[in-house]
Amino acid sequence: MKRINVEKCASILKEKDNILILTHAHPDGDTLGCGFALCRALLKAGKKARVICADEIPKKYDYLFCDISIPDFEEEYIVAVDVATEKLLGSLEKQYAGRVDLCIDHHPSNTGYADNLLLIADAAAAAETVFKVIKAMRIKVDKHIAECLFTGITTDTGCFRFASTTSNTYRAAAELIDLGAENAKINRIMFEQKPKSLAALERLAIEGMEFFCDERICLITLTQDMYEKSGSSEEETEAIPALTRQIEGVEIGLTIREKTDGTSKCSIRTYDSVDASKLAKNFGGGGHKQAAACEFKCDYKEAKKILLDKCRETLESGETVEEDVWE
C-alpha cells in the first residue's frame, strides 16, 4: 500500500480508463455522492466508468444518478470511495478483495487494503477529497457533480452539525452551491422529510427509550415487531441513532436493531468525552469518534447486555478520547 496525495491521485486517474467504482454496503450519502461525482467526472473526461454497490440504493438518492448513458466495459482499474475496509464492500467483498487499485477515504481506520490510498482524515466527508481530486484533474464541476459532492458532505456531517465539520467543510459547501448545488433541496431530501411510517417508528423508538448509568447512556431498541407496527423497515432507520444523543446529559447513545435473521446490529453515538469507534472496535466494528457501528451474532437482548457492560466500563474508567488510528 502506498499513501498518495491529491495531485498524484488525479494524475493516476487521468492515465486510467474503464474504471469501476466501488461504494460501501448499506450505502450512505458520502459513499454514493463520491461514487457518482467521480463517475460523472470520469465520463466527462471521455473515459468509461460505472458505480456499483452491494446493496440496493435507497430511493431518496435517485437524483445522484448520472444522466449520461454508461457504456458496457470490462473493468481495468478499480477504485473504492469512502470504504474503510474490504469487509464494508458487503457481498462485493468476495469478488473484489485484494483487487482494489485506489481508495479515496477519510476514515482514520482505513486498513490500507488498496494499492494506492488517498486518505485525508481531517476531511469531514470523503466527498471533500473527491472534490479536490476532480478539480486537480481539471474537470469542470457541473451542477450534477456539485450536487453529488454536496450530498456527501451534508450527510456525513449531519447537516454541518457534527464536530468533524471544519471551516474547510463550510467553504467546500459554499463553492459547491456556487457551482449549482441546490443546498436547500438536498438538505430537505436528506434531513427534513420523512414518510409517516418512519415518523411512527420514531414515536415507538422514543416511547421505548431506556436510560442507564445516571442517564449518561440512552438506549433505543428497534425490533422487527416495531417495524411491522409502524409499517417501516430497517432501511429507513438511518436517522434514529441521532435521537439517542439529543437528551441533555447523555454521553453514549446506543441503537440496537434486531435483524431478520435474529442477530443484531448496534449504532453508537457519543459526544467528545467518549470514543465511539473504540467502543465499536471491541466488537469488531468501527467508524468515527462520535459515530460508529458494530454487529453481534446474538439476539438484541444479549447484545444489549454485552454492550451496556462495556459502556459502563468505559464511563467508569473515565478514559478520554485520543487520536486512534487503527492498524
| Per CB under 8 A, 246 contacts a second copy | yes
Does 63 engage in binding with a second copy (CB under 8 A)? no
Residue from 1, 68, 97, 174 touching a second copy (CB under 8 A): that is 174
Decide whether 73 or 211 has the Cβ nearer to a second copy.
211
DSSP 320: P
Using CB under 8 A as the binding criterion, the count of chain residues that bind a second copy stands at: 38
| 143: three-class secondary structure by DSSP | helix
Interface positions, 175-214, toward a second copy (CB under 8 A): 175, 177-178, 183-184, 187-188, 191-196, 199, 202-203, 206-207
Query: Quick one: which H or E segment has residue 57?
Result: none
* Smallest distance from a second copy to CB 197, Å: 9
Q: Which H or E element spans position 147?
A: helix 143-156
**Options 56, 72, 74, 248; binder of a second copy; rule CB under 8 A:** 248
If the CB atoms of residues 211 and 326 are measured against a second copy, the closer one turns out to be 211
Is residue 320 a contact residue for a second copy (CB under 8 A)? Answer: no
The DSSP bridge partners found for residue 222 are 257
Q: Pick the closer one to a second copy by CB: 78 or 240.
A: 240
> Quick check: 105 and 134 in contact, CB under 8 A?
no
The correct pick among 65, 212, 271, 326 for binding a second copy (CB under 8 A) is: 271
Report in angstroms how near the CB of residue 173 gets to a second copy at its nearest: 5
How far apart CA 245 and CA 288 sit, in angstroms, is: 15
**How, if at all, do strands 291-296 and 19-22 pair?**
unpaired
- 135 burial class (0-12, 13-18, 19+ CB within 10 angstroms)? middle
In the complex with a second copy, the residue whose CB is nearer, 88 or 124, is 124
User: In which residue are the cell numbers 468476495 written?
Assistant: 94
The DSSP annotation for 99-134 comes to ---EEEE--TT----SSEEEE-TTSSSHHHHHHHHH
* CA–CA gap between residue 104 and residue 3 (Å, rounded): 10
Select from 63, 65, 73, 170 the one that contacts a second copy (CB under 8 A): 170
- How near is the Cβ of 78 to a second copy at its closest, in Å? 34
Q: Kindly state the cell numbers that stand for 317.
A: 474508567
Q: From 65-73, 76-84, 244-252, 254-262, give the range in contact with a second copy by CB under 8 A.
A: 244-252
Among 65, 160, 212, 326, contact with a second copy (rule: CB under 8 A): 160
Of 161 and 297, CB closest to a second copy: 161
Site string for a second copy, 118-137 (x = CB under 8 A): --------------------
Can you tell me the distance from the alpha carbon of 133 to that of 70, in angstroms, rounded to the nearest whole number? 21
**Helix, strand or coil, per DSSP, at residue 309:** helix
Q: What is the largest CA-CA distance in the chain?
A: 59
Contact footprint for a second copy (CB under 8 A): 159-168, 170-171, 173-175, 177-178, 183-184, 187-188, 191-196, 199, 202-203, 206-207, 215, 245-248, 271
